[in-house]
Amino acid sequence: MFAQRLKNLKPYKPGEQPKDREYIKLNANENPYLPSPKIKDALKDIELQKLALYPDPDSHELKKAIAKSLNKTGGVLVPAADQKPLGFEITEDMIFCGNGSDEVLSFVFYAFFDSDKPLVSPEFSYSFYPVYAGYYGINLLKVPLNADFTLNTKAMLDVDSTGMIFANPNAPTGMALSVDEIEAMLKAYPKDKVFVVDEAYTDFSGYTVLPLLKKYENLLVIRTFSKSMSFAGMRLGFAVGAPALIQALTTTKNSFNHFPTDAFCQASAIAACSDIEWYSENCRKIIKTRDAFSKALVDSGWNVLPSKTNFVLVSKDGMPGKAVYEAIKAKGILVRYFDIDVIRDFVRITIGTDEQMEKLLEIIRTI
Ligand SMILES: *Cc1c(COP(=O)(O)O)cnc(C)c1O
Is the pLDDT at 342 greater than 90? The verdict is no
Q: What is the mean pLDDT of residues 286-300?
A: 97
Q: What is the mean pLDDT of residues 154-176?
A: 98
Q: What is the pLDDT of residues 82-96, one digit of tens each?
A: 999 999 999 999 999
Is the pLDDT at 331 greater than 90? The verdict is yes
Alpha-carbon distance of 1 to 260, in angstroms, equals: 29
How much is the pLDDT for 46?
84
How much is the pLDDT for 284?
98
Q: Is 200 in the pocket of ligand 1 (CB under 6 A)?
A: yes
Mutating to test ligand 1, I would choose from 108, 177, 198, 226 the residue with most ligand atoms within 8 A of its C-beta, which is: 226
* Phi and psi, residue 361, nearest 5°: -60, -40
Q: Cα(102) to centroid of ligand 1, in Å?
A: 6
Who's near 327: CB < 8 A, 6+ residues apart?
363, 367
Q: Is 100 in the pocket of ligand 1 (CB under 6 A)?
A: yes
Q: What is the mean pLDDT of residues 268-283?
A: 98
Is the pLDDT at 233 greater than 90? The verdict is yes
Q: What is the pLDDT of residues 245-254, one digit of tens each?
A: 999 999 999 9
Q: What is the pLDDT of residues 167-191, one digit of tens each?
A: 999 999 999 999 999 999 999 999 9
CA atoms within 13 A on the CB side of 46: 22
Is the pLDDT at 3 greater than 90? The verdict is yes
Alpha-carbon distance of 345 to 20, in angstroms, equals: 26
Q: Cα(13) to centroid of ligand 1, in Å?
A: 13
Rounded CA Rg of the chain: 20
Q: What is the mean pLDDT of residues 143-148?
A: 96
Is the pLDDT at 341 greater than 90? The verdict is no
Kind of pairing, strands 333-334 and 24-25?
Answer: parallel
Closest CA to 327 of 284, 367, 285, 365: 367
Cα separation of the two ends of the chain? 50
Q: How confident is the model at residue 38 (pLDDT cuts 50, 70, 90)?
A: very high
60-73 and 276-299 helices cross at what angle (nearest 10)?
60
In terms of Cβ atoms closer than 10 Å to its own Cβ (0-12, 13-18, 19+), residue 166 is buried
- Overall residue count recorded for the chain in this entry: 367
Q: Cα(168) to centroid of ligand 1, in Å?
A: 12
Q: How confident is the model at residue 205 (pLDDT cuts 50, 70, 90)?
A: very high
How much is the pLDDT for 49?
84
Mutating to test ligand 1, I would choose from 30, 96, 102, 307 the residue with most ligand atoms within 8 A of its C-beta, which is: 102
Q: Are 350 and 25 in contact (CB under 8 A)?
A: yes
Q: How confident is the model at residue 277 (pLDDT cuts 50, 70, 90)?
A: very high
* Phi and psi, residue 129, nearest 5°: -60, -50
Cα dihedral: 211, 218, 114, 254 (round 10): 80
